[in-house]
Structure 1
Amino acid sequence: MTFDESIDATGVFRNAKIFRLGAELAVLIWDLPPSLPATTKCLLSMDQSPIPLVSMMLPLGNGRQRMFWAMRPEKQPVSVGICTEHGSTAETIVMHPARTLVPLDVETLFADLAPDARIKFVNNLLTVWRSAFRIASDHLFNMVVEDALHALVPQPQAASIVCQIARGSHLIETAINPDLGDITAIYAIGAASITRMAVRLVRGRNAKNGMQSCHFIAEVPSPPFLIVLLSKNGVAIRQLADGKPRHPSLQSWWGKNLEAVELREMIVRRLATLPESGAATAIDLQVCAPLASSRIAKSSMHPSGEVDLALALDDGLLAGGWFHAPSSAFAGIDYVKEDGTAVPLDANSYEFPAWAQGKDEKSKTDVTGFVAWVPLPESPGPLLQPRFQMRLASGAVRPLIPTPQPFEPATQRNHVLRAVPPQHAVDGAFRTILAPALQDIERRLGKTIEVDSTKDYSLPKSPPLVSIVVPLYRVLDFLRFQLSGMATDPWLAANAEVIYVLDSPEIQDQTEHLLGGLHLLHGLPMKLVVMNRNGGYARACNAGARFARGAILVMLNSDVVPCAPGWLQVLSRALLKSNELGAVGPKLIYEDGSLQHAGLYFGRDQRGIWLNHHFHKGMPGDYVPAQQARDVPGVTGACLVTRRDTYERVGGYTEDYVIGDYEDSDLCLKIRRVGLQIAYEPAACLYHFERRSIRRSQDYMRGVASQYNSWLHTQRWEEDIAELMANLFDRDHDRPAAAGMRIRKRNAA
């Protein structure tokens, strides 16, 4: 690119000149005359100022200044005045349409610019000007940028492709001067486009021959192209001429570079952002070629420790393990981020007495257990082995690498539930540590849950009055009795449909076979909804409710069996008679005839947590106070009857309680919050073979799920429950005296 006349660089811009910078872009260049101070601010005067109008001032080698104004010219020639800040006009020039202008000659422009000014010019081309004018693909602008880069560095050093990360995405390697400092932007300059890439790179720890290795992931066009790395201290320009990767695949590179931990973490994070199988690829790589785990064995004299829980989640990192600090040498344990930054865990951690395995499998030794939550502004992706270090008082650090961690949300949840022993699961462990992790996991788990298939058993075309939703989880023991009890109820058989929701799809064949036989026997209209995976009680119920066609909705446990016909008619009549009634529940009795449920109430335990309790639980089934129909704080979800529009209005069951507990009282409180009442109706009676399904969930029974759910329920409803119990039910003489006391032991389902 040359001017249309041959002149020396010196003095070219003494008079203002306008050049073509892009297809519709021009730049006005003018050197401040010696008569004006070098600090003089100058403006353009035009009849109509172009938008955008971008300016900059760069120093010349002789100490003077050069002004630049970039703009889109009008389609007709216009007069442009260059005015000083004091209002005087220093020079006037006519600006013609861009297509008629002479292209900018960068070599001439750079001839008398100061060296730092040349770098600043390139920086502005790629950042401010390109952004202001939204130049996505402009062949002429690209040529100007390429000319500027070659003028800065006539023979750029090479960069190479290490391997392909995914289609159109490659791992690039080069070397840069450590004095560049932090890289602020990376660009790929091709023949047809300029691409800005994510500034995420890994630099080598040690410089070799004055240069530092540098890796980053690029989504760029096919070579050849230039790579520009910008920083506050300068610019690095590299040439990528060969498009052939050094490694045939990412898997090949990964297996040979176990020591490149920072680089591996960067790749995991990048893969997690890719559509389709990116996250699965990241997980597979880590499983097939994991890092060697590292712990510091227990010692009576020296600090020791281990991180055995390290879940990288969307919102942060949950870490847990133990340490032993027999002396003042121990300073703490840190999470080591991808860029090498150490984040102390003790900023948000909870410690408790624990034990670790001793010298042999049978011996145990006392240590300090811990669990910590590290909030992160950006997810590290499906990282299975986050890195940690033990920090010593001397400043030395020792690595702690956990074994590969689970990546499936349900398994992650189970690990969280076992992170703290039940006797140490207190508010300090839940509020800022376990709760954020569990909420993160439940949110991700919910995104994976969906209905896999449905099967109808003689459903009539016309909608019934009542839809009965029954979630199934592994236990099918009571289906024969439950369906028999419903099929022999004439009112129910004529007015209801039954929707079974299978939350354990691994027994789909068994369930379909059983329901098919029972349908042939009883002829009751049914639908089977099969979930794609176990998502918990609330999600199963909500899925079933979405298929309900009846105006009245019944939530019924699979271990609840009618005592006699007529129960559904009684409960439905109560709802239909009163618009102020939001939900109603029956009397539930054990198989020996004693009371299991006559309405729910709330009582605090010794920690101040509200627990669910059943009125008159354990009393004889004909206990007189339990024979009175009345308003109650809530009813159990084992058999809860409501209007479908009410259920939908309050959003159904809340799905972030773990596995299944407290959703029923939560639903009742939501119904109360919209101004409706909850009632107990003893004229309807059913057997409840209590909590048979949840006993099959070992993670619920062994972990702290119930304690977490009661804590979460209290956090969510503290004020509502306190007001309800204080104002509404203190006058109720039928409520057990224990309900007004601090309950020491939970006795609710």
Structure 2
Amino acid sequence: MTFDDRARDASGNFDKAKAFRLASEAAVIIWDIPAALPVAAKYTLSLPHQPVPLVSMMVPLANGRHRVLWALRPRTEPEQVEISAECSNLQSFVLRPVRDLPALDVEALFADLSPEGCLKVLNNLLTAWRSALRLSRDALFIGAVEDALYALTSGPRPANFLCPIAEGRYLVETAISAEFGEIGAIYALGANGILPLSSHFLVGAQPARAHRPCHFVIESPRPTQPLLFVFLGKKGIALRELSTGKTRYPNLQTLWAEHRGAAPLREFVVRWLSGQPEGGAATAVDLQLRLPLPSRQIVKSGTHPAAEIDLALVLSGGLIAGGWYHDPTSTFAGIDYLKENGTALPLDGNWYTFPAWARGAEEGSRTDVTGFVAWLPLDQPPGVLLQPRFQMRLASGAAKPLVPKPQPFEPAAQRNRILRAVPPQHAIDQAFRTILAPAIEDVEQRLGKTITVDCTKDYGLHEKAPLVSIVVPLYRVLDFLRFQLSGMATDPWIVSNAEIVYVLDSPEIQDQTEHLLGGLHLLHGLPMKLVVMNRNGGYARACNAGARFARGAVLVMLNSDVVPRAAGWLQKLARPLLDEMKLGAIGPKLVFEDGSLQHAGLYFARDKRGVWMNHHFHKGMPGDYPPAQVPRPVPGVTGACLVARRDIYELVGGYTEDYVIGDYEDSDLCLKIRRAGFDIAYEPSASLYHFERRSIRRSQDYMRGVASQYNAWLHTERWNGVIAELMAARLSAGEVGASLNKAAARSAA
């Protein structure tokens, strides 16, 4: 034990139960179990009016026997009390009101207890008894706790203010014995009460000397009187006194600069700030960007292992790390993540390796290395930590530090880094399932919480709700709006029955878009609404936002690069939806600018890795190809022009928003509509031009990474069995045989 075992003169004899005043309205009854009775028996305290709460504990004596303590709030009149075990009355006595009881003699209580028993009593006083009996601010109880502390220790050691860390909160520094072990809790003890501190504290690594540095935060105004801190651990207690002197550093920025190399302390500050609701995370990010840790890699050589971490994102559910290593002498043993307290967590329990290259010593040269990416779940993430620390472990047991450059903290930037963690040719199921998918899901959830509608603007909307709402998401490319809107403005049915909802998913071009739509409205007079998102959130989120503002009974999800070929197309698509209640969605024929087929319905075919890919019936064939002129049910239709009843769209929850940027949401929606019991149809008499993927090509995040492969993998994970059954039925009916053969040939190529 680490507390003082000095001799005590007092001696307590509790063979007969005795009652003492514990607090102004609470008493404690103490009784030693006779040696002849079993310790395992259940000993009960009974009163005529059973008090609530009634708390108890059993503690060991130094002689091997045990002592039982009960704490309660007695009545204001004497009561008969019985101590019994298994219905046998062992003792009876009269419990007097608290005002008539003697004060608790802590020295007498502790005199015969074992060190473990003393520690258990103090722990219960500070935790269960304080809380259950609401004694945190009771002066008599505080005095009893202080007596217990000074009976068990040789007095407090000093603690000092380091600096203010936030409004009314201070970072405190002290030292803890190297033998103390793990800290379970810290309590502040002052004239105004006993309060538990938060679990935010940091104990330094094991030193050669007798004490380790310890830091924690006081989340209260700076005290005007000395304050005691009680550290509870499995191996003992420690007592510290905080003076009211000046802080060592005037502010957090000065502390950060002075302790630039003290990574554990910096990580503790980041973790604490990340949990603060008002600007704490932003402060943590700013500090790390202003004064980052020096990045460290192990330079590649021909005779020694080398490594570098270039991806290290701390997310809410864990850590994704990536980089490379080189092992010319077979002495590399692994890479570990280093926690704030120095604990090493191996990455190689869940990592994926692949052939990669690193820059060589000479300019422009490359050398072969082993790339890796790993996902490490964390029960307690360290907050917005931009430079997690790692080490390369060698077979000899030695370790060398690795520190990445500051990592992105904004969700979209983090997602883009994750998508480039594995080269597309090496993005297989193993990489997605246990590593990339948990990380992308984590980031997408956080990204979704940041996306809202910033503002809206109306252009001549009618008071009466239209029959049809055409929702058009816009991302950077406005090249086709004039042609698209002109095609709709010359369609009498659209003029009479539709409104257009444009959703701007790239708010940086808001002024340009408003100016363009304002001019087009003056020219054509079509009723329009512009919905401006606060940031880019992807195709699905933009469409769902537009649907929330749409007023029509029929929704048209229309890409900005889809242009009508002739009037009447929308009437041909909307009418079947309104007439056939089993029809959930319908799509038109889409052609390229040269008139060849782009879309005549969607179907699914597996690639060589077994992943279901979306394919378009008869893509590339002449626009008048006879099989594409037949209206028919299809597995799905493209989101480039998808028409659905509003009630069905809302029933299935609209587009699923966890696909990255924009891909596979349309087939996912069609499969959800099918699952709800509705059909999907293709209508070739409605025909439009589709200048395919003009917007998504502007997204470097999508084009440079494995977003499309991830979306296909996620889509397969979600719908594998349903698609297999659907395509088997279509194949047996002879509907997709030729198209499947073409898709298989493309996949093999």
Q: Give TM-score, length-normalised by structure 2.
A: 0.94
- Distance (Å, rounded) in 1 between the aligned partners of 2:441 and 2:40: 57
Name the counterpart of 1:3.
Answer: none
Name the counterpart of 1:179.
Answer: 179
Name the counterpart of 1:666.
Answer: 668
Name the counterpart of 2:199.
Answer: 199
Name the counterpart of 1:722.
Answer: 724
1:641 maps onto 2:653 in alignment: no
Q: Deviations over 1:424-474 (max 9, x none)?
A: 111111111111111111111001000000001111111111111000000
Task: Give the residue type in structure 2 aligned to 1:378.
Answer: Q
Q: Quick check: 1:615–1:736 contact (8 Å CA) kept in 2?
A: no
1:476 maps onto 2:449 in alignment: no
Task: Give the residue type in structure 2 aligned to 1:585.
Answer: G
Name the counterpart of 1:289.
Answer: 291
Query: 1:78/1:500 Cα in 2 relative to 1: closer, same or farther (>3 Å)?
Result: same
Structure 2 gap ranges (5+): 1-8
Residue among 509, 512, 515 paired with 2:514: 512
- Distance (Å, rounded) in 1 between the aligned partners of 2:716 and 2:37: 73
- Aligned positions of 1:287-366 closer than 5 A: 287-366=289-368
- Distance (Å, rounded) in 1 between the aligned partners of 2:666 and 2:335: 41
Query: 1:137/1:566 Cα in 2 relative to 1: closer, same or farther (>3 Å)?
Result: farther
Q: Deviations over 1:460-509 (max 9, x none)?
A: 11111111100000000011111111111111011111000000000000
Name the counterpart of 1:5.
Answer: none
- Distance (Å, rounded) in 2 between the aligned partners of 1:10 and 1:414: 70
- Distance (Å, rounded) in 1 between the aligned partners of 2:383 and 2:240: 29
Tell me which moved more, 326-335 or 50-59.
Answer: 50-59
Name the counterpart of 1:213.
Answer: 213
- Distance (Å, rounded) in 2 between the aligned partners of 1:194 and 1:353: 59
Name the counterpart of 1:133.
Answer: 133
- Distance (Å, rounded) in 1 between the aligned partners of 2:676 and 2:38: 73
Residue among 485, 488, 493 paired with 1:486: 488
- Distance (Å, rounded) in 2 between the aligned partners of 1:664 and 1:34: 77
- Distance (Å, rounded) in 2 between the aligned partners of 1:522 and 1:194: 73
Aligned partner of residue 352 in structure 2, secondary structure:
strand
Tell me which moved more, 367-376 or 194-203.
Answer: 194-203
- Aligned positions of 1:488-503 closer than 5 A: 488-503=490-505
Tell me which moved more, 306-315 or 192-201.
Answer: 192-201
Instruction: Report the alpha carbon displacement of residue 736 of structure 1 after superposing the two structures with TM.
Output: 5.3
Identity rate of aligned residues, in percent?
Answer: 65
Residue among 461, 464, 483 paired with 1:462: 464
Name the counterpart of 1:96.
Answer: 96
Q: Quick check: 1:9–1:112 contact (8 Å CA) kept in 2?
A: no
Q: Quick check: 1:388–1:400 contact (8 Å CA) kept in 2?
A: yes
Q: Give TM-score, length-normalised by structure 1.
A: 0.94
Name the counterpart of 1:70.
Answer: 71
Q: Deviations over 1:646-677 (max 9, x none)?
A: 11111110111111000000000000000100
- Aligned positions of 1:405-484 closer than 5 A: 405-484=407-486
Q: Quick check: 1:562–1:687 contact (8 Å CA) kept in 2?
A: yes
Name the counterpart of 2:3.
Answer: none
Instruction: Report the alpha carbon displacement of residue 746 of structure 1 after superposing the two structures with TM.
Output: 5.9
- Distance (Å, rounded) in 2 between the aligned partners of 1:568 and 1:75: 84
Tell me which moved more, 650-659 or 71-80.
Answer: 71-80
Q: Quick check: 2:295–2:402 contact (8 Å CA) kept in 1?
A: yes
1:609 maps onto 2:611 in alignment: yes
Query: 1:601/1:108 Cα in 2 relative to 1: closer, same or farther (>3 Å)?
Result: same
Instruction: Report the alpha carbon displacement of residue 250 of structure 1 after superposing the two structures with TM.
Output: 1.1
- Distance (Å, rounded) in 1 between the aligned partners of 2:11 and 2:596: 105
Name the counterpart of 1:168.
Answer: 168
Instruction: Report the alpha carbon displacement of residue 701 of structure 1 after superposing the two structures with TM.
Output: 1.1
Q: Quick check: 1:613–1:747 contact (8 Å CA) kept in 2?
A: no
- Aligned positions of 1:544-623 closer than 5 A: 544-623=546-625
Instruction: Report the alpha carbon displacement of residue 246 of structure 1 after superposing the two structures with TM.
Output: 1.3
Q: Deviations over 1:356-385 (max 9, x none)?
A: 000122111111111111111122211111
Q: Quick check: 2:204–2:341 contact (8 Å CA) kept in 1?
A: no
- Distance (Å, rounded) in 2 between the aligned partners of 1:706 and 1:34: 74
Instruction: Report the alpha carbon displacement of residue 151 of structure 1 after superposing the two structures with TM.
Output: 3.2
Query: 1:725/1:685 Cα in 2 relative to 1: closer, same or farther (>3 Å)?
Result: same
Q: Quick check: 2:465–2:551 contact (8 Å CA) kept in 1?
A: yes
Query: 1:668/1:75 Cα in 2 relative to 1: closer, same or farther (>3 Å)?
Result: farther
Task: Give the residue type in structure 2 aligned to 1:466.
Answer: V
Task: Give the residue type in structure 2 aligned to 1:197.
Answer: L
Residue among 362, 365, 372 paired with 2:374: 372
Residue among 695, 698, 701 paired with 1:696: 698
Instruction: Report the alpha carbon displacement of residue 729 of structure 1 after superposing the two structures with TM.
Output: 4.5
Aligned partner of residue 700 in structure 1, secondary structure:
helix
Task: Give the residue type in structure 2 aligned to 1:623.
Answer: Y
- Aligned positions of 1:27-38 closer than 5 A: 27-31=28-32
Q: Quick check: 1:585–1:635 contact (8 Å CA) kept in 2?
A: yes
Instruction: Report the alpha carbon displacement of residue 210 of structure 1 after superposing the two structures with TM.
Output: 2.1
- Distance (Å, rounded) in 2 between the aligned partners of 1:626 and 1:443: 40
- Distance (Å, rounded) in 2 between the aligned partners of 1:186 and 1:557: 59
Task: Give the residue type in structure 2 aligned to 1:524.
Answer: L
Q: Deviations over 1:114-156 (max 9, x none)?
A: 5554333212201232244354543332232223223333631
* Alignment root-mean-square deviation, CA: 2.3
Q: Quick check: 1:161–1:170 contact (8 Å CA) kept in 2?
A: yes
Name the counterpart of 1:190.
Answer: 190
- Distance (Å, rounded) in 1 between the aligned partners of 2:594 and 2:717: 36
Aligned partner of residue 743 in structure 1, secondary structure:
helix
Q: How many residues align?
A: 739
Q: Deviations over 1:651-710 (max 9, x none)?
A: 110111111000000000000000100000111111111110001011211111111111
Query: 1:537/1:747 Cα in 2 relative to 1: closer, same or farther (>3 Å)?
Result: farther
Instruction: Report the alpha carbon displacement of residue 516 of structure 1 after superposing the two structures with TM.
Output: 0.4
Query: 1:207/1:390 Cα in 2 relative to 1: closer, same or farther (>3 Å)?
Result: closer
- Distance (Å, rounded) in 2 between the aligned partners of 1:720 and 1:37: 63
Name the counterpart of 1:20.
Answer: 21
Aligned partner of residue 88 in structure 2, secondary structure:
coil
Aligned partner of residue 261 in structure 2, secondary structure:
coil
Query: 1:23/1:578 Cα in 2 relative to 1: closer, same or farther (>3 Å)?
Result: farther
Q: Quick check: 1:222–1:243 contact (8 Å CA) kept in 2?
A: no
Name the counterpart of 1:54.
Answer: 55
Q: Deviations over 1:164-219 (max 9, x none)?
A: 22223322211121111111111111222322223343223354652222122332
Aligned partner of residue 179 in structure 1, secondary structure:
coil
Instruction: Report the alpha carbon displacement of residue 352 of structure 1 after superposing the two structures with TM.
Output: 0.8
Name the counterpart of 2:740.
Answer: 739
Name the counterpart of 1:4.
Answer: none
Q: Deviations over 1:407-437 (max 9, x none)?
A: 1111111111111111111111111111111
Query: 1:615/1:35 Cα in 2 relative to 1: closer, same or farther (>3 Å)?
Result: closer
Residue among 228, 231, 237 paired with 1:229: 231
Q: Quick check: 1:600–1:635 contact (8 Å CA) kept in 2?
A: yes
Instruction: Report the alpha carbon displacement of residue 336 of structure 1 after superposing the two structures with TM.
Output: 1.2
Tell me which moved more, 15-24 or 158-167.
Answer: 15-24
Q: Quick check: 1:611–1:746 contact (8 Å CA) kept in 2?
A: no
Query: 1:64/1:332 Cα in 2 relative to 1: closer, same or farther (>3 Å)?
Result: closer
- Distance (Å, rounded) in 2 between the aligned partners of 1:469 and 1:662: 18
Q: Quick check: 1:629–1:679 contact (8 Å CA) kept in 2?
A: yes
- Distance (Å, rounded) in 1 between the aligned partners of 2:641 and 2:504: 18
Q: Quick check: 1:616–1:736 contact (8 Å CA) kept in 2?
A: no
Name the counterpart of 2:534.
Answer: 532
- Distance (Å, rounded) in 2 between the aligned partners of 1:184 and 1:135: 21
Name the counterpart of 1:274.
Answer: 276
Task: Give the residue type in structure 2 aligned to 1:501.
Answer: V
Q: Deviations over 1:515-542 (max 9, x none)?
A: 0000011110000000000000000001
- Distance (Å, rounded) in 2 between the aligned partners of 1:516 and 1:42: 83
Instruction: Report the alpha carbon displacement of residue 510 of structure 1 after superposing the two structures with TM.
Output: 0.3
Query: 1:342/1:510 Cα in 2 relative to 1: closer, same or farther (>3 Å)?
Result: same
Tell me which moved more, 154-163 or 674-683.
Answer: 154-163
